[in-house]
Amino acid sequence: MTDNTGPRYRDVLPAKGVGGSALANEVDELVVMDRAPHLPVSSIHPPDAVRQQACAIVGRVYASPGDWHWSTPLAKKLVAETAAFVRSIFAAPANAPVLFTAGGSESNLLALKGARDATRRHEVVMAQSAHPCLDKAAAVLDMTVVRTAVDGEGRAETQALIESIGPQTAAVVLSMPCDSRGVCDTVAPVAEAARLSGSWCHVDACLGGYLVPFLKGLGRPLADFDFAVPGVRSISADLHKYGYAPTGISSLLVRDAADEDVIGFRFDGWNGSPYASATMAGTRSVAPLAGAWATLLQLGRDGLSERAASVASWTDRLAGMV
């Protein structure tokens, strides 16, 4: 199936099926190509024993008869325990809802939907450094985006964000950190301004959500961004980034149960039974959540702290080379 230039592709579905062992061999060949030197090595997906065990558990859950059913004993355990782990990391109230999504784009879209529906407004205020997936979400939700200035280091100018909050502002978004520069926005004063204006303050911590709290625990001078800040209403954080889980799992935390109700979708205006969905996807497997659950339990807080220390050490070394 492969040659010196890369894989060859079938252009029709074969009349006769291909044996499973042959398919496994094809995949093995391609995986070897994926490890070629030209591909970047990502520190957030280390090929270690923790990852291998998490992927094995993902496979076992996919193979179970109820992998798509979120009311089974397995799914309930995965949701309850992983949500509890996540709440503890972000200083969330004991009853704070935690939604598990396919990735940061979905988490951010749901946060903006909640802001739009809760406030009945249609404007999003965020800095030039905010991730483009928020613009995509705003386009889907028919919301207007107001982008504000950044300072010399690339973080949002706090006063510019505050001054841009108006009567039509549904959500103010802060980055922890922004993907383009890796710098963190100042959350507390903007969150308070949003609260006073009746807007929803959302922290996009998809990249740093499972890293920054542990860097703070190591003494790094990073300000609070989570639910310890009173005005913060929701936080998105990807478990498949610095939560080190296999790809396909993010988390969205909201402070109050009422906001979870706003985010969800319910419909009974048809001739079937009432339909309800907490996230954008309807039918979805619980297996990606199993991967996150297994990863967090294997690492524990100490393991996550050790990995944060390693990231910090390499950052310092790279900064010293500039």
Asked if the peptide bond before residue 40 counts as cis, ω within 30 degrees of 0, the response is: no
Contact 201, 175 (CB under 8 A): no
Please, which residues have CB within 8 angstroms of residue 264's CB and are 6 or more apart in sequence? 276, 277, 278
Query: Tens digits of per-residue pLDDT, 198-254?
Result: 999 999 999 999 999 999 999 999 999 999 999 999 999 999 999 999 999 999 999
Is 286 in contact with 80 (CB distance < 8 Å)?
no
Amino acid at site 188: A
Question: pTM of whole model > 0.85?
Answer: yes
pLDDT (tens place) for every residue of the chain, 322 residues total = 445 566 788 889 889 999 889 988 988 888 777 665 555 555 677 779 999 999 999 999 999 988 888 999 999 999 999 999 999 999 999 999 999 999 999 999 999 999 999 999 999 999 999 999 999 999 999 999 999 999 999 999 999 999 999 999 999 999 999 988 889 999 999 999 999 999 999 999 999 999 999 999 999 999 999 999 999 999 999 999 999 999 999 999 999 999 999 999 999 999 999 999 999 998 999 999 999 999 999 999 999 999 999 999 988 998 887 5
Residues of the chain with pLDDT > 70, as a percent, come to 95
- Report pLDDT for 131: 97
pLDDT one-digit tens code per residue, 146-160: 999 999 999 999 999
β-pairing, 250-254 vs 232-238, is: antiparallel
Distances (CA, A) of 68 to 45, 76, 289, 292: 25, 12, 11, 16
Q: What is the mean pLDDT of the chain?
A: 92
Six token digits for residue 179? 């993907």
Q: Which two tokens stand for residue 32?
A: 């070897």
Total number of residues shown for the chain:
322
Tokens of 172: 């103010």
Q: What is the pLDDT of residue 2?
A: 44
String of b and e for 33-58 (b: at least 16 CB within 10 Å)?
eeeeeeeeeeebeeeeebbeebbebb
